[in-house]
């Protein structure tokens, strides 16, 4: 039996979900709505959706599944409006927001009406945004978190999980508060730290202008996530404020301990600090080992130590092109005290990086110089 899915918001996430759902064996009809008609029209022309809705309400009424792929603040407003619409009684409603507590609180107005709401968060992204960047494989091997109410019917969770099967994401069920706490630790707080490090560099650039050039190596990679959309991260910071404050309190305590360590100048203690960090970091799952993509969007880099001669970069890109491997960025690193290799080639997936590593390893000039 054909299932009707409404996707509200046809940007990168909503568009990619549409493509992923339609490549499955399921008999589904997707109705889409976006506040930009041009975006909705492009989604229709690309086959992401089957029907362009004239309003959010018309998209949702009659749907078996409703997916709000909009910013969290927008989703909260839309859910409040949806509580007054005539939806199918057995509809399953979900979202894609990166903070769940505000969403689950807002969902009470729908639950009070007898509707099913299950929070969702696909932990995948891209360096590009908008429907033009939508890809059906965006969620492959990424965690797709579901946060149902504690009293939710297991069958409803199973139905939503089944709908999401074509995304090839790793569906995990978590409590909303647990989700927000963990994403604060591994995603939201690191963005604040990265942005703070960049701010620290900017403050010192005026007196030492050359420092920016030296920051093109490891510092640039360490703070890459600070280039993310400031509007999105403003909203996330406000929405997950309490968890972030707790992380900041812990961070300040840790930094005070580090300061005391440096003041004492105890070589054994300093060594232990770096050694413990290295051991724990080295035990983290590696994308080379097929680990599932985590909370942070990341590019997958290969560092290649190449000889400096004319045409060497074109040789590498030719090897990748012959293997039909797409890359997202390529750059030469000048400051390499903490970065291996002169050339950094970035890929969108771990699979692309693995294939590139294999292809380049077959070229004898580079077989011993790839990390």
CA angle, corner 294, sides to 292 and 298, nearest 5? 105
What is residue 216's predicted lDDT score, i.e. its pLDDT? 64
Q: Which residue has the tokens 């409404």?
A: 6
Residues in the chain predicted with pLDDT less than 50, given as ranges, are 287-290, 334-340, 367-368
Q: How many CB atoms lie within 10 A of CB 90?
A: 11
Question: pLDDT (tens digit, 9 = 90+) per residue, 296-339?
Answer: 555 677 877 766 667 778 888 888 888 888 887 787 664 444 44
Rounded CA-CA distance 218/335 in Å is 8
What is residue 289's predicted lDDT score, i.e. its pLDDT? 47
Domains along the chain with CATH numbers = 3-174 (3.40.50.720), 179-262 (1.10.3660.10), 300-361 (3.30.70)
The answer to whether residues 295 and 100 touch, using CB atoms and an 8 Å cutoff, is no
**Residue 126 phi, psi (nearest 5):** -155, 160
Comparing CA positions, the residue from 296, 100, 279 lying closest to residue 189 is: 296
Rounded CA-CA distance 67/32 in Å is 10
- Between the alpha carbon of residue 130 and those of residues 73, 133, 134, the distances in Å are 18, 6, 7
pTM of the model as a whole: 0.75
Q: DSSP letter at 294?
A: -
The answer to whether residues 181 and 100 touch, using CB atoms and an 8 Å cutoff, is no
Give residues with Cβ within 8 angstroms of 67, minimum separation 6. 5, 6, 7, 8, 14, 17, 94, 95, 96, 120
The answer to whether residues 40 and 56 touch, using CB atoms and an 8 Å cutoff, is no
Rounded CA-CA distance 51/22 in Å is 13
Rounded CA-CA distance 216/342 in Å is 12
Comparing CA positions, the residue from 248, 263, 144 lying closest to residue 193 is: 248
Q: Which residues partner with 304 through β-bridges? A: 343, 370
Q: Which residue has the tokens 């060594």?
A: 271
What is residue 17's predicted lDDT score, i.e. its pLDDT? 96
CA atoms within 13 A on the CB side of 190: 15
Give residues with Cβ within 8 angstroms of 304, minimum separation 6. 316, 341, 342, 343, 344, 345, 360, 366, 369, 370, 371
Q: Which residue has the tokens 């910071």?
A: 237
Question: pLDDT (tens digit, 9 = 90+) per residue, 13-43?
Answer: 999 999 999 887 678 999 999 999 999 999 9
């Amino acid at each position: 039996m054909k299932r009707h899915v409404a996707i509200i918001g046809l940007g990168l996430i909503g568009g990619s979900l549409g493509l992923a759902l339609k490549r499955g064996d399921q008999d589904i009809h997707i109705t889409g709505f976006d506040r930009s008609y041009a975006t909705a029209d492009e989604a229709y022309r690309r086959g992401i959706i089957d029907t362009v809705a004239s309003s959010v309400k018309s998209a949702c009424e009659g749907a078996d599944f409703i997916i709000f792929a909009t910013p969290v603040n927008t989703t909260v407003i839309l859910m409040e409006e949806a509580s007054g619409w005539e939806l199918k009684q057995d509809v399953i409603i979900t979202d894609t927001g990166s903070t769940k507590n505000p969403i689950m609180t807002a969902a009470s107005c729908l639950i009070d009406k007898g509707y099913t709401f299950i929070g969702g968060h696909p932990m995948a992204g891209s360096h590009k945004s908008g429907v033009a960047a939508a890809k059906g494989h965006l969620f492959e091997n990424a965690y797709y978190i579901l946060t149902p109410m504690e009293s939710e019917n297991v069958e409803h969770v199973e139905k939503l999980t089944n709908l999401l099967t074509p995304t090839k994401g790793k569906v995990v069920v978590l409590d909303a508060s647990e989700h927000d706490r963990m994403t604060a630790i591994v995603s939201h707080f690191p963005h604040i730290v990265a942005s703070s490090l960049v701010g620290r560099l900017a403050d010192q650039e005026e007196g030492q202008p050359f420092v920016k050039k030296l920051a093109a190596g490891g510092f640039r990679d360490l703070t890459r996530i600070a280039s993310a959309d400031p509007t999105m991260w403003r909203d996330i910071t406000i929405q997950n404020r309490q968890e972030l404050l707790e992380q900041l309190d812990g961070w300040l305590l840790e930094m005070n301990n580090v300061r005391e360590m440096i003041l004492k100048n105890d070589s054994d203690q300093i060594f232990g600090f770096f050694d413990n960090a290295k051991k724990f970091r080295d035990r983290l799952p590696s994308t080379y080992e097929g680990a599932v993509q985590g909370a942070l969007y990341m590019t997958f880099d290969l560092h290649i130590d190449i000889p400096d001669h004319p045409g060497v970069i074109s040789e590498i890109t030719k090897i990748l092109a012959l293997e039909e491997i797409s890359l997202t960025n390529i750059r030469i690193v000048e400051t390499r005290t903490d970065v291996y290799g002169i050339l950094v080639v970035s890929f969108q997936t771990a699979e692309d990086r693995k294939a590139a590593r294999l292809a380049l390893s077959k070229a004898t000039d580079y077989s011993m110089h790839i990390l």
